[in-house]
Amino acid sequence: MAAVKGPQAVHTELPILNGQNGALPAKEAVTQAVETTKSDDLQRPAFEIEEHPIDQVRPIKVGVIGAGLAGITAGILFPAKVPGVDLRIYEKNADVGGTWFENTYPGVRCDIPAHVYQSGFSPNTQWTEEFAQGAEIRSYWQGLARKYDVYKYLRLQQKIERAVWQPEKGKWLVTIQGLKDQQTPRRYEEELDVLINAIGHFNAWKLPDYEGINSYQGTLFHSSNWNHEVDLQGKRVALIGNGASGLQVLPSIQPIAQHVDHYARNRTWVADSFGTTGVRRLEPNLFSEEQLESFKDPDTYLRYRKSVEEGYFSRFGAVFKNTPENQELREKWTKLMLSRIRKDSTLADKIIPDFPPNCRRPTPGPGYLEALGQENVSYIQTPIQRFTPTGIVTTDGVERPVDIVICATGANVDHAPPFSIIANNVDLKEAWTHDGLYGFPYNYLGMATPGFPNLLWIGGPHSTGQGGSVPNCLENQITYIAKLLRKLRAQGIKSLAPSKAATDDFVEYCDTFYPRTVWTGNDDSTPGQKNCRSWYNGGRPGGRIHGLFPGSASHLNYLRRDPRWEDWEYTYTNPSGNRFAYFGNGWTQRELEKGADLTPHLNRPDTIDLRTYLEGWWDA
């Protein structure tokens, strides 16, 4: 059993009181027989019937932090699936879009087809190119937010700074910084019944902390915070990092800059196209007018979508170690990479990674390898040692002066939240870091953490299965959370949190499953399995995997269809703690409303699907 150190999650389920004043001898006898009543519980008030119909839900305030794809989708699905919920979505930026609002670097675009990287319920038939550019993606998601009225739940330019759980109240106290007036930012507090983190994996972008970096006198910025004031024309530029961002930036700046020093301390796999064509070109794959016209026909478009998207649900075999599928990728990508640098044979020995394909997220990098071979690009694999006021020194003592440094150095990869989230004297901001109490993002199914009641995650650690698409994964996760919210408000539940036992079982499953995969391809003694470091493993070769779920995208969708209620612990709003207090006074609301439909179960027989017959939460 992979029991995790740290405080025991408080077991909050309350035993049955069963008429502690002795009014019901038969029940009392049962209670004594099962010995569930402790002296503590006897001090709780006696249970009294709550005077309300069973289906009168308690009002809850739900706060979502972040309005990227996750927050926007939550803003669409929660009001539909949890009608009447008091929802507020806090976003530190001036508009929605998250990744696609902030990343405006030249060349930013999705590396999977836009027809896959979109909502399942409101797709765009008219994407202009197969791999849409950042601006088109941003405008699609902003359009979706407008179409579904998400803006009415939005609190823009409001940054969450801290959240503290108040167990007596069963509410989170959040501290918010209003950023509308930059000169005098306003700080205030709000109480929320449920707090949902949708803050993204890559939003807390990170600059390196090399010695001397603060005394560097040229211009320095992160690719996620592009400085559009700076003209690269004729300049000496340093580009640090060869993740997916660095791979998009290099071919965009190489034709403009006088010279680019590209610092890539580790090698990376460059994949074949993730789309319908083989090798990705730098030029856009524009859709023809005929194609765009044909997509207006719903059946044709559905067929097209399914044909493209099925590829994303069928690549799981290649994540397992030493499988023919993974070996095939190694051969295919090696050949492809070498063919793409044909102008510069000196690169051949320097680009093929030691670790297996898929150990870190691959990307097709259109134009990257071609740019690497250009005369005005230096590919520098020696690690950086320090900065000087005018340039960068590598560990071999070579100093290279530059006018501009672009850091495509990614984000915090430990997945610890960048602000304090405190409950039961533990702060996740510290507990989840490598040196913290847990040492990794200790969580239940990428959804919640023991000891942190009413705190949920969308798109957090372990949130995506391998393959599939991010929007589809988020829709499934949000639907799962909607079920938790409906239960919480409808069944008199004050708080819910996953049990420590269930979470430890999940950790044990992860620890046993991941070694089968190339994500743990970090055995330094085996050729081809070395030095793999990425946001999947917290940036540490051999580190615990938490970037991906231990299963395929389809596997994750399957298991998220129904929450395992037995893995959760609950407290109740009724002072007696009786779990059935929500039964109320025996009535349903509709019986008390004049003219209400008392027979919602009756429908035209030809509209009945027996698989879902009498299973709708909305028509009971």
Ligand X SMILES: Cc1cc2nc3c(=O)[nH]c(=O)nc-3n(C[C@H](O)[C@H](O)[C@H](O)COP(=O)(O)OP(=O)(O)OC[C@H]3O[C@@H](n4cnc5c(N)ncnc54)[C@H](O)[C@@H]3O)c2cc1C
Q: Which residues bind ligand NAP (CB under 6 A)?
A: 110-111, 202, 208, 240-246, 248, 263, 265-266, 361, 363, 384, 408-410, 533, 535, 539
| Closest residue to ligand NAP, based on beta-carbon distance | 243
With CB under 6 A as the contact rule, which of the stretches 45-53, 194-202, 209-217, 526-534 interacts with ligand X?
A: 194-202
Please count the CA atoms within 13 angstroms of the CA of 460 that sit on its side-chain side: 26
Q: In the complex with ligand NAP, which residue's Cβ is closer, 194 or 239?
A: 239
Give yes or no for a contact between 117 and 178, defined as CB atoms under 8 angstroms apart: no
Nearest to 165 by CA among 410, 456, 382: 456
- Pick from 66, 243, 367, 492 the residue near ligand X by CB under 6 A: 66
Q: Is the CB of 111 or the CB of 569 nearer to ligand NAP?
A: 111
Name the DSSP letter for residue 167.
T
Q: How far apart are CA 483 and CA 564, in angstroms?
A: 11
Spatial distance between the Cα atoms of 22 and 239, rounded to a whole number of angstroms? 76
Q: Give the whole-angstrom CA distance, residue 258 versus residue 402.
A: 11
Q: Please list, in sequence order, all residues whose beta carbon lies within 8 angstroms of the beta carbon of residue 131, skipping any fewer than 6 positions away.
A: 109, 110, 111, 112, 113, 114, 275, 280, 284, 285
Binding residues for ligand X, total number by CB under 6 A: 30
Question: Could you tell me the smallest distance in angstroms from the CB atom of residue 70 to ligand X?
Answer: 3
When asked if residue 547 is in the footprint of ligand X (CB under 6 A), the reply is: no
Smallest distance, Å, CB 103 to ligand X? 4
Contact status: 160 vs ligand X (CB under 6 A): yes
Minimum distance from residue 541 beta carbon to ligand NAP (Å): 10
User: Is 190 strand, coil or helix?
Assistant: strand
For the chain, give the number of residues. Answer: 620
Q: Residue from 251, 366, 459, 465 that binds ligand X (CB under 6 A)?
A: 459
Q: Does 203 bind ligand X (CB under 6 A)?
A: yes
Determine the interface stretch with ligand X among 3-11, 40-48, 87-95, 321-329 (rule: CB under 6 A). 87-95
Q: How many CB atoms lie within 10 A of CB 469?
A: 20
Residue 328 · residue 293 · CB < 8 Å: no
Helix (H) / strand (E) element for 505: namely helix 500-513
In the complex, least distance from residue 223 CB atom to ligand X, rounded to whole angstroms: 7
User: Can you tell me the distance from the alpha carbon of 572 to that of 583, in angstroms, rounded to the nearest whole number?
Assistant: 13
CB atoms within 10 A of CB 461: 26
Phi-psi region of 345 (alpha: psi -120 to 50; beta: other; left: phi over 0): alpha
Question: Closest Cα partner for 461 from 543, 545, 520?
Answer: 545
Name which of 193 and 414 has its Cβ closer to ligand NAP.
414
- Closer of 124 and 245 to ligand X (Cβ): 245
Binding segment for ligand X (CB under 6 A), chosen from 55-63, 93-101, 506-514, 550-558, is: 93-101
The partner in contact with residue 71, picked from ligand X, ligand NAP, none with C-beta cut-offs of 5 to 8 angstroms by kind, is: ligand X
Query: Nearer Cβ to ligand X, position 402 or 458?
Result: 458
CB of 534 to ligand NAP, least distance (A): 6
User: Minimum distance from CB of 309 to ligand NAP (Å)?
Assistant: 17
Kindly state whether residue 103 participates in binding ligand X, applying the rule CB under 6 A. Answer: yes
Q: Does 63 bind ligand X (CB under 6 A)?
A: no
Q: Are 134 and 244 in contact, with CB atoms under 8 Å apart?
A: no
Check binding of 456 to ligand X (CB under 6 A): no
Q: Please answer whether residues 92 and 74 qualify as being in contact, where contact means their C-beta atoms are separated by less than 8 angstroms.
A: no
Q: Which of 110, 114, 271, 318 binds ligand X (CB under 6 A)?
A: 110
Residue 159 partner contact from ligand NAP, ligand X, none using kind-dependent CB cut-offs of 5 to 8 Å: ligand X
Helices within 148-286 (DSSP H only) = 244-253
Q: Is 163 in the site for ligand X (CB under 6 A)?
A: no
Burial 307-329 (b: 16+ CB within 10 A, else e): ebbeebbebbebbebebeebeeb
Q: Is 243 in the site for ligand X (CB under 6 A)?
A: no
Q: Nearer Cβ to ligand NAP, position 356 or 410?
A: 410
Residues that bind ligand X (CB under 6 A): 65-71, 90-93, 98-99, 103, 108, 110-112, 117, 159-160, 198-200, 202-203, 245, 419, 459, 470
